[in-house]
Amino acid sequence: MRKLLHRLDHVLCRLANRVIFRLNRVECLTDLANITGTLRLAGNGRIRIGARTRMNSGPRRNPIGGDTKLTLVCRRGGEIDIGPDCGLSNCAIVADSKVVLEAEVMLGGGVKIYDTDFHNVDPKLRRAEHAGTYHGVSRPVLIRRNAFIGAHSIILKGVTIGENSVIGAGSVVSRDIPDNEIWAGNPATLVRQITPS
Ligand SMILES: CC(C)(COP(=O)(O)OP(=O)(O)OC[C@H]1O[C@@H](n2cnc3c(N)ncnc32)[C@H](O)[C@@H]1OP(=O)(O)O)[C@@H](O)C(=O)NCCC(=O)NCCS
């Protein structure tokens, strides 16, 4: 019985994601069987999901970061481009300009990637948002091939994370990270270099 319910749940999720992707015009190259749980999508930009990429969304799919669904938001014509063979669990990506994940990137549970500050630091410009004039600052984010972002980390606007690099759990990254290095903390600092085997 439990097996049957599990199978039914999986089929329903696949159906729901198919509808969600169609409504949001997502270019999805991965098999929908690679996505557990339903995604939350918003905005009017372009989202692309690469081949064989795996995604978990919701508490029953991965308890880490499971207080939220996997959320992809493209505002103001922003783009989210997720490469092939990536793995994402219960993370949130918000793009006002562009967020790119190259191939084989892993995002741990509860990771947030924002290419925007959402609100301006200038108090007058921030107040103008109430009148409908938006002054949020946005710069593209690039996560390079095979990088691994630890659970609950926050990657801020304009950041590039280097190839194979690792970000420790719970870090805040506001500056570029070179290839093959481990960085952790708030603000993230160098832990050590990685020698790929
Ligand atoms: C970053 C990480 C990979 C480092 O592992 P490691 O190489 O075994 O490193 P160590 O545990 O030996 O720690 C090395 C130093 O970095 C510090 N450090 C490690 N992880 C840290 C973190 N997340 N935040 C701040 N500092 C951290 C340690 O305190 C230690 O500092 P010290 O040398 O001053 O004592 C690991 O700690 C981590 O955060 N992994 C991510 C786990 C995760 O989120 N998985 C995804 C689940 S969905």
Express each pLDDT in 109-129 by its tens digit: 999 999 999 999 999 999 988
Judged on CB neighbours under 10 Å (0-12, 13-18, 19+), 132 is exposed
Give the start-to-end residue ranges of the domains of the chain.
2-193
Residue-level pLDDT at 20: 93
108 lines ligand 1 (CB under 6 A): yes
Residue-level pLDDT at 39: 95
Local mean pLDDT, 10-residue blocks, the chain (197 residues): 83 92 94 95 94 92 79 94 97 97 97 96 89 88 98 98 98 98 98 92
170 lines ligand 1 (CB under 6 A): yes
d(C-alpha 113, C-alpha 155), whole Å: 5
Residue-level pLDDT at 130: 83
Residue-level pLDDT at 109: 95
Backbone angles phi, psi at 151, to 5 degrees: -55, 140
Concerning whether 119 is annotated as a catalytic residue, the answer is yes
Mutate to test the pocket of ligand 1, among 56, 111, 164, 191 (most ligand atoms within 8 A of CB): 191
For 2-193, give the CATH class: mainly beta
Residue-level pLDDT at 63: 73
87 lines ligand 1 (CB under 6 A): no
Check 119, 130, 135, 152 and give the catalytic one.
119
